[in-house]
Amino acid sequence: MTKVVWYELKSLTNLNHIQILTNAHKVVKIDLHNFNIYKDIIESSILKFNSEIEWDGMWDIQEAHERLLRKNTLYLFLKDNSPIGHVWYIGEYLFNAFVSRDREDGESQWFIQQTIHDIFKNGYTTITLYTEEWNKRAIGFWEKLGFSIINKNELIEYGREYIHKTQGND
């Protein structure tokens, strides 16, 4: 069984900040209104995710559209107008965070920090996420950002299905 570590961030004051001073970086918030405008970029990010993570077909453009219909939020991370990452928020849960291996120091932290600011700005007071216990790099990343461990469980007990059910998703 896969053990997971649950994290939460309760305040922007706990968030460690990093600045990237370049116009090449942009975070785009995707909803149903701009989905068709960014559809090709979303598909490109999905393909990059599926190939780098080696979870062939974990999600596709149809699922992305269905998630947006359920009021999930997708943020795309663009560098020179090409996708290098994405993150989903399902309510207060951060889900499926990804930044390409072709990144520079600080870009992942900056991207997540930008999305966190937007989530808090939209009324959420806590951000929760999980990562697998074996993923030491991710654990270090979330702790560096200021997230605190709240629990350790089996993935089967909580995980993706738990998040979807608590947010009214199928």
- Cβ count near 151 (within 10 Å): 13
The architecture CATH gives domain 3-166:
3-Layer(aba) Sandwich (3.40)
Q: Which pair of tokens denotes residue 119?
A: 């989530």
**What pLDDT is recorded for position 154?**
62
**What pLDDT is recorded for position 1?**
59
Taking phi first (over 0 means left), then psi (-120 to 50 degrees means alpha), and beta for anything else, what does residue 54 get?
Answer: left
Distance CA 170, CA 164 (A): 6
Check if the beta carbon of residue 106 is closer than 8 Å to that of residue 141. no
Residue 85 DSSP SS3: strand
**What pLDDT is recorded for position 105?**
75
Q: What is the CA radius of gyration of the chain?
A: 15
Residue segments in the chain with a per-residue pLDDT below the cut of 50: 56, 156-170
**What pLDDT is recorded for position 170?**
38
**What pLDDT is recorded for position 33?**
92
Task: Please report, for the chain, the start and end positions of each structural domain, with discontinuous segments joined by +.
Answer: 3-166
Taking phi first (over 0 means left), then psi (-120 to 50 degrees means alpha), and beta for anything else, what does residue 88 get?
Answer: beta
**What pLDDT is recorded for position 38?**
93
Distance CA 28, CA 168 (A): 25
**What pLDDT is recorded for position 164?**
42
Q: What is the pLDDT of residues 44-56, one digit of tens each?
A: 888 877 777 765 4
**What pLDDT is recorded for position 76?**
93
**What pLDDT is recorded for position 155?**
53
Distance of alpha carbon 15 from the chain centroid: 16
**What pLDDT is recorded for position 21?**
57
Residue 135 carries which side chain, given as an amino acid letter? N
